[in-house]
Amino acid sequence: MDWTFYASSDFGLYHYDAENIGYLSNNIVRVTQKLVLNDRGTTNLVRELGKEYENVKEIITIREIDCAGKKICIVGLIYFSDSGRVIKRDSYEPKEWNSIMPDSVDDVLYDAVSKCLGSATILH
């Protein structure tokens, strides 16, 4: 994977896999995102989801982006400990599409992925 940094927030650093961006169809792109949590991010995760997440240091998220509609959804999440152990996996069906808010982390990802569309792989 080719993790490319694209944004930071109060909760950590965001990267996307620039090597494996793929078209699904009709302007839908699938991209893998990694959030490397800082202490505040881990604390927030534990507060929202529970004590079982206290050792989470990275979250890998499979996202789909509707480039024409400027919407985004989560397909799946994998929570990793600092030792690389999988703590939990989640998948989301049906998909819940949300508008991409201006000046958000998702907006930065949208811009980054849109620039990569020419080199995207068509997925079947």
Tell me the pLDDT tens digit for each residue of 43-97. Answer: 999 999 999 999 999 999 999 999 888 999 999 999 999 899 999 999 998 899 9
C-alpha 35/C-alpha 109 separation (Å) is 12
pLDDT surpassing 80 at residue 116: no
Say how far apart CA 25 and CA 88 lie, in whole Å: 29
Bond into 94 cis (ω within 30): yes
What is the pLDDT, as a whole number, of residue 23? 83
Q: Supply the pLDDT for residue 43.
A: 96
Mean pLDDT across the chain, nearest whole number?
90
pLDDT for the residue 117: 56
SS3 110: helix
Q: Is the pLDDT of residue 119 over 50?
A: no
Distances (CA, A) of 87 to 38, 61, 80, 105, 118: 17, 14, 6, 24, 35
Q: How many CB atoms lie within 10 A of CB 37?
A: 21
Whether the per-residue pLDDT at 114 is higher than 70: the answer is yes
Band (pLDDT 50/70/90 cuts) for residue 124 is very low
Please, are residues 91 and 84 in contact by the beta-carbon 8 Å criterion? no
Q: Domain 3-122 sits in which CATH superfamily?
A: Surface-adhesin protein E (2.40.128.710)
Q: Report the DSSP pairing between strands 121-122 and 22-25.
A: parallel
Tell me: pLDDT of 122 over 80.
no
Is residue 25 scored above 50 in pLDDT?
yes
pLDDT of 13 strictly over 60: yes
